[in-house]
Structure 1
Amino acid sequence: MLAWKNVAVRYSGFELKLDLEVARGETLALLGPSGSGKSSALRVAAGLERPAAGRVYIGDRDVTDLPPERRGVGFVFQDYALFPHLTVAQNVAFGLEERGWNRARARERVDELLSKMGLAAHARKRPEQLSGGERQRVALARALAPDPEVLLLDEPLGALDLRLRERLLLELRRVLAGEGATAVFVTHDQTEAFVLAQRVAIVKDGRLVQQGAPEAVFERPADAWTARFLGHKNVLTPEEAAMLGLAGGPLVLLPGALRLVAGEVEARAVERLFYGPRVGVWLEARGVRLFWEGPASEAPAEGASLRLAIDPARAVEVRP
């Protein structure tokens, strides 16, 4: 449904090279650190930037040379980019008027989306009268209104506080599923990517390093950098693995690999971190620093000595 075919985007000292497809009705997360090229990929797909090489396809159409308004793409920006002089309803209707929808059909679509987004009571308000979460929903409704072939979202939750971001992430997932939208969601947050997307594509320094279902990517990271970026804390060099009695390396110890039972590895709890519903403990075992996470009732106190068991079945070998 959306494809970057051998696309290259070049800036001074940086090049994005991308060959990637998104299926109809799929939500893909482009995941990577700041400066990795994620937003550039989105801008090329939207027609806001032209690639130095390669082609962009939406469905069976080559849209590389088309302006944004002729691509059938909806775009949600990080700062929402709402029109301050228009009401909520007028913002949502804007794209419909530009595309020549008749008034009755446009009003029906606007009412449908305002109801679906929980915005019906705010239809006559202007953006400055809304909370950040409400503005985000208006921007999403405006992008969805014309039934775009592809919806592009550039860090749409990045400006929100953690609690609101978590709530709106679930709302966004529900809306995309309900609309059957083909969507590409750019984020640097692996939790957002895992919750929202059916497939994750990880980008580093302008290159696609791994893609797949969230569970598969998390459980089988391609290399040590990807493992750390996805939040794995127990990434061992071959030397560290050998010190712990494990073969191979580099290794990633997946969640559940460390068991605080009467195992063979002597360890000491160096630092205990309280996260509310869970506790994290940094351990030192045979000169190797390890991280355990679990319920507070099972967590050792700082300075405590224990014997640790390591499940080799939860140790995954990765590239350096």
Structure 2
Amino acid sequence: MRILVTGGAGFIGSHFVRSFAGEDELTVVDKLTYAGNPASLEPVEERFTFVHGDICDAALLAEVVPGHDAVVNFAAESHVDRSIAGAEEFVRSNVLGVQTLMQACLDAGTPRIVHVSTDEVYGSIDSGSWDETAPLSPNSPYAASKAGGDLIALAYARTHGLPVSITRCGNNYGPYQYPEKVIPLFVTNLLDGLTVPLYGDGANVRDWIHVADHCRAVRLVADRGQPGEVYHVAGTAELTNLELTVRLLDALGADRRRVERVPDRKAHDFRYSLTDAKLRALGHAPRIPFDQGLAETVEWYTTNREWWEPLRKRRAP
């Protein structure tokens, strides 16, 4: 299959490319913002075509989208704290960028599109789990921008018959994740002898999934997903932030004095949780238990300083 992967130099997108570059003919489009790293693609650098560009660039998309059997959209601004500090780029990439990409796919007659989204579009849930019919109630500018992009994609499906499916996933972890996100941030801080910043009382709950399981789910939806439908990709471990912190401290032999309590994030969602029966009906099941995946992730950051140290030293724009 010829697949166009937008945002393919980011954390999840680059894993998708590394996983399927030998199986599919891939074209990667990436703007290479601070979180887009060509080094994440080096293991498969001879197996795909790279285009440096922005999904908001309609002229570029008109050139690169035609001829592909599928488009998978990972391109997004994704860090909640950055969206609170300044939301403009999130709206531009996550809403306008999606509209520009959907229009390019419509103009090109692309047979299949998968738009990758997040559980954060639903807001917070105290108990139980969301299914795909749950109402959207985002709280952060990041989550609101992702919800806006989802609605644009679904509008193109309903108005124009565009064959786009949406996936919504919980918190991803694994190798090659930019060290502003909690697991690589905490691991690299601990490796460098620093403290780790824990929001509030650490009671907020997240559902964790290995990036490899997420990418397998996205590829499955590209093959078997129904146009206009949403599919949840549920995690394998529901943990409070404090429980996660303790596991990371234990994995690196650090004591509790390395934890620095910091003021809670504004509008911090308490808990996310998804049901994934719809995706499992397509044949999906996670393969990587959380304990195994976390241990392997910690080991990867321990032995791959040459990848993450330059990112910690570089100031983001």
For the aligned pair, the TM-score class normalised by the smaller chain equals: under 0.3
Larger Rg: 1
- State the TM-score, normalizing by the size of structure 1: 0.27
Which structure dedicates a bigger proportion of its chain to strand? Answer: 1
**TM-score with structure 2 setting the length:** 0.28
